[in-house]
Every structure is written in structure tokens, then in C-alpha cells.
């Protein structure tokens, strides 16, 4: 399916996205609706990151 190198590139991209969500949450601390939306997206991202770590460990 994917090589280990490809999975590591995907992992790096997810780390960048996670950093961006943290930045957006910090910038919008006074706007509750945006914080909730970004937080939900970040949680989904964390789930993907966890599954990706399991895949990398299996290879």
C-alpha cells in the first residue's frame, strides 16, 4: 500500500496541520464558535495521527 517513507511524509504533513490548528485556536480565543470548530478538526487529525503511528509501527 504505502512505503514507510511515504507514511513518514504523511506524518510530517499531519504535524504541520496540527501546528496550524493550534495557531488558529490561539488566534481565535475570543470567538467560541471558531474554537469549537477548530478543536473538532484537530481531534479528527489526532485520530488519523494515531492510526498512522500504528501503521508505521507495523511496517
Q: Are 25 and 35 in contact (CB under 8 A)?
A: yes
At residue 59, the pLDDT reads: 86
Helix, strand and coil in the chain, % to nearest 5? 85, 0, 15
Q: What is the pLDDT of residue 20?
A: 96
- The alpha carbon of residue 9 and the mean position of all alpha carbons in its chain are separated, in whole angstroms, by 13
3-class DSSP state of 23: helix
Taking only the tens place, the pLDDT of each residue in 1-59 is 899 999 999 999 999 999 999 999 999 999 999 999 999 999 999 999 999 999 999 98
| pTM for the structure as a whole | 0.85
Chain mean position to CA 34: 17
The pLDDT value recorded for residue 11 is: 96
Angle between helices 32-58 and 4-27 (to 10 degrees): 160
| pLDDT for res 55 | 93
Amino acid at each position: 500500500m504505502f512505503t514507510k517513507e511515504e507514511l513518514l511524509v504523511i506524518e510530517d504533513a499531519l504535524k504541520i496541520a496540527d501546528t496550524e490548528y493550534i495557531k488558529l485556536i490561539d488566534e481565535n480565543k475570543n470567538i467560541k464558535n471558531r474554537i469549537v470548530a477548530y478543536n473538532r478538526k484537530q481531534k479528527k487529525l489526532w485520530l488519523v495521527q494515531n492510526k498512522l503511528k500504528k501503521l508505521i509501527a507495523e511496517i
